[in-house]
Amino acid sequence: MDMDAFFASVEQLDDPALRGRCLVVGGSHRGVVAAASYEARKYGIHSAMPIFQARLKCPHLVIVAPRRRRYAELSGRIMDILRTFSPLVEPISIDEAYVDISGCQRLHGTAHETGLAVKTRIREQTGLTSSVGIAPNKFLAKIASDFNKPDGLTIVTPEQMPLFIETLAIEKVPGVGAQTRQRLTGMGIQTLGQILQWPEQQLVRKLGKFGYRLMALAQGRDNTPVVCESEAKSVSSETTLEQDTADHAVLAVCLLAQSETVARQLRAQHLRARTITLKLKTTDFVQHTRSHSWPQPIQSSDTIYQATLRLLTAFALTQPIRLIGVGAGNLIPENMPVQQALFADEQVRHRQQWEQLDRALDAISERYGRGSVVRGTLAETGRNDKKQ
């Protein structure tokens, strides 16, 4: 399931004056288009396009600032609707999800009937349109959901699969980017079906491990299961900065906000983490990660912040940073038995006190809304989007 021009559609839904108009959501973030309405797409405007360029293409373009909280709220409702069809729902982004409906025929009818029911229920309950693709595996379902957009419903039955693959443009296949596509064009491959004309070994020699994957996909084999989100393996928060920076102080403020987000997610899911990872992407798009592990699992935002800050300080900032993020891994449920220490440890006591403070803040936020109490550092920069 893939929502149609999600952010733009939400804006048009909430403000009738915007309906039928060329609209993009974006602006605040690096000045690029986050989503474009179908009216705007007719002018060749698409996501990730710089705003100024979009303006050139369509002078009467309306630009709306994103309201992420509203999108998240609707996304949550849509995911809940999907879960009424099957417990196996895997959200892949705010507006896309895989749903495993195998074995649900007696409940929901044929694939076609199920697909229609999903679309109808989403439209009735949110007022938004979606596109659905139904296929024997995940990768074809994703491609099918992209067909006949907006308000599309595309079904690829096992019998239709070989023909569908034979004519499927190779650039539609997930994982085929500009480079791979160029290489494949060089080999005379335009559609996924043409992959089958090549021996697997040769594909692997030219494309590396991805060659195996492409061959499998060309044969219609994709066994990746639909995984529900409940089994979190890691919790993370990352931000692409508005401007690349090597300013330690600016980055530290980001880390503080992200550490709080990660710690809040850990607490919400009753988890503790044994490993914290700092992720940095430099201006040249190279990604760097640095990790720290504890013998005992941790949870407090301050512990996470102090650890990531140490990792950041140890990292030689020779280039400006484009993206910064904090991740927590090695997650252990809170109620898991924990080895006690022989000696009273000042650090451990300190950590426990911070955890207590975090919990008190959670309680305040729950009662008076998030942002009712924030750290001084974050309040100053207004980073908590508490305007709402």
Least gap, CB of 343 to another protein (angstroms): 5
Least gap, CB of 230 to another protein (angstroms): 15
By CB under 8 A, the residues from 287 to 306 that bind another protein are 292-295
HEC per residue, 116-140: HHHHHHHHHHHCCCEEEEECCCHHH
Going by C-alpha positions, the residue among 196, 225, 200 that lies closest to residue 212 is 200
Among 65, 286, 314, 341, binds another protein (CB under 8 A): 341
- Name the amino acid, one letter, at 36: A
The per-residue b/e assignment along 77-107, b for 16 or more CB within 10 angstroms, e otherwise, is ebbebbeebbebbbbeebbbbbbbbeeeeee
Least gap, CB of 163 to another protein (angstroms): 44
Asked if residue 337 binds another protein (CB under 8 A), the reply is: yes
Q: What's the rounded Cα separation, in Å, for the pair 358 and 363?
A: 9
Sign for the CA dihedral angle at 108, 112, 115, 120 comes to negative
Q: Which residue, 182 or 339, is less far from another protein as judged by CB? A: 339
280 membership: H or E segment, kind and range: strand 271-282
Task: Give the count of residues interacting with another protein (CB under 8 A).
Answer: 14
90 is catalytic: no
Q: Which among 96, 113, 238, 355 is annotated as catalytic?
A: 96
Asked if residue 350 binds another protein (CB under 8 A), the reply is: no
Least gap, CB of 238 to another protein (angstroms): 24
- Each residue 315-334 as x (binds another protein by CB under 8 A) or -, in order, gives -----------------x--
CA 37 remoteness from chain centre: 20
Q: Which residue, 25 or 276, is less far from another protein as judged by CB? A: 276
Question: Mind giving me the DSSP string for 238-276?
Answer: EEEEEEEE--HHHHHHHHHHHHHHHHHHHHHTTEEEEEE
Asked if residue 346 binds another protein (CB under 8 A), the reply is: no
Q: Which residue, 210 or 294, is less far from another protein as judged by CB? A: 294
Least gap, CB of 295 to another protein (angstroms): 5
Q: Structure tokens of 317?
A: 């900032």
Q: What's the rounded Cα separation, in Å, for the pair 195 and 182?
A: 14
Among 72, 92, 286, 338, binds another protein (CB under 8 A): 338
Residues that bind another protein (CB under 8 A): 292-295, 332, 336-343, 345
Active site residues: 96
